[in-house]
Amino acid sequence: MPVTAGVEDAHTRAYGPDADALRRQDPEIADVLDGEARRQQDSLQLIAAENFTSPAVLAALGSRLANKYAEGYPGARYHGGCEYADAAERLAVERATALFGAEHANVQPHSGSSAVLAAYAALLRPGDTVLAMGLAHGGHLTHGSPANFSGRWFEFVPYGVDAESGLVDHAQVRALAHQHRPKAVVCGSISYPRHLDYAAFREIADEVGAALIVDAAHPIGLVAGGAAPNPVPYADVVCATTHKVLRGPRGGMVLCGHELAERIDRAVFPFTQGGAQMHTIAAKAVAFGEAATPGFTAYAHQVVANARVLAALLAGHGLHITTGGTDTHLVTADPAPLGIDGRTARARLAAAGMVVDTCALPYGDGRGIRFGTAAVTTQGMGAPEMERISALFAAALRTDDDARAVRAEVRELAERFPPYRG
């Protein structure tokens, strides 16, 4: 069994230490939380952006810091009684900077999108030109979607991946940068399964006098575990989430150097956010502490090993794996060789108890599927289980008949590796 980040015994029920009180007070919500616990227990969570936190992270999330209003920063709050809130945030900042080798960390962003918004607010003005990966090639909503603030406030120029290899076309990125002279270059993706070349992006940004913003929402947990390159030495600003492979609470953070620290802090508060969510910040501190352990390093490398095994096995079952494999926790695939599209594939897998996402396919008319191995690795699964998952995956995709037989096998596998024991 692989070494994991530590799925310890949970000393609580599905929704915390006051479960009985919640059941008495609000049985409807208690039923919802019980249902979600069962869903996570008896299905396979293969969404690349999801994971299971440790019970310690959950405990911090349910702590009395949830009651504390703490606008501002440690030592400079707008409310009294913040001495313990300050201590929690200082610990989170100290642990984040040490973990990633950054000079400054802001741990207040409520999400990855909030972190990106803060980076743009610190470095850009409305109307500025920004170069980022196009949404059809794996860019995020905050990389220029017309439905998002980014596409409404800035002029985004999209770059993409090579049609044959599926890899970032650095020649195209350089040509577009010299043609459009952007104020910032954004390096990051929600569905790119390979390591990004941060040095190459830094060189291109320097050639045109642009800031380099790395959106590391997906790989940051692998960075923490030494299983992916660290963007901090190359980027002006690194934006990230604290969930996904990092196994922390849902939230964001921004890493930067001393020279941008004040601008980033002011962009987070008071420009884009109000009071910090102190219970979440405490939970981030717990997660950063866990990520600094040898167990997490082993876990991060196991996540990648599992993803590579799963990608190779699914290719053998007929899926087209984009870029031919993965360097990370995520895999993207086109199920067209099986005669179905991404949405049909997702529905069939869901019926069989395997939860995945759809994703854009560059240069294609349909959608593919995106899945990851962070959660199942947290549960303690390794190469033998990836082989079992690949067979169940293929069986579910190849038929739209009754999925009950596959569903029963999925439930049996999931229940042998519970996300929380006890």
d(CA 198, CA 218): 15
Secondary structure (3-state) at 237 = strand
d(CA 281, CA 296): 20
Q: Pairing state of beta strands 76-77 and 72-73? A: antiparallel
Catalytic residue selected from 142, 241, 272, 322: 241
Catalytic residue selected from 13, 194, 244, 308: 244
Q: Has 284 been annotated as catalytic?
A: no
Q: Has 404 been annotated as catalytic?
A: no
d(CA 158, CA 138): 11
Long-range contacts of 68-73 (CB under 8 A, 24+ apart): 68/278, 69/275, 70/275, 70/276, 70/278, 71/269, 71/270, 71/274, 71/275, 71/276, 72/269, 73/265, 73/269
d(CA 376, CA 45): 7
Catalytic residue selected from 89, 215, 341, 357: 215
Listed residue (288, 294, 295) closest to 94, CA to CA: 288
Catalytic residue selected from 69, 174, 297, 323: 69
Catalytic residue selected from 23, 90, 250, 263: 250
Catalytic residue selected from 71, 128, 203, 409: 71
Please tell me whether the peptide bond between 193 and the residue prior to it is cis, using omega within 30 degrees of 0: no
What angle do the packed helices 198-207 and 170-180 form, to 10 degrees? 20
DSSP structure string for 353-386: TEE-EEEE-TT-SSEEEEEESHHHHHTT--HHHH
- Sole residue written with tokens 């399964």: 193
Q: Has 215 been annotated as catalytic?
A: yes
Structure tokens at 407: 């569903």
Please give the positions annotated as active site: 69, 71, 215, 241, 244, 250
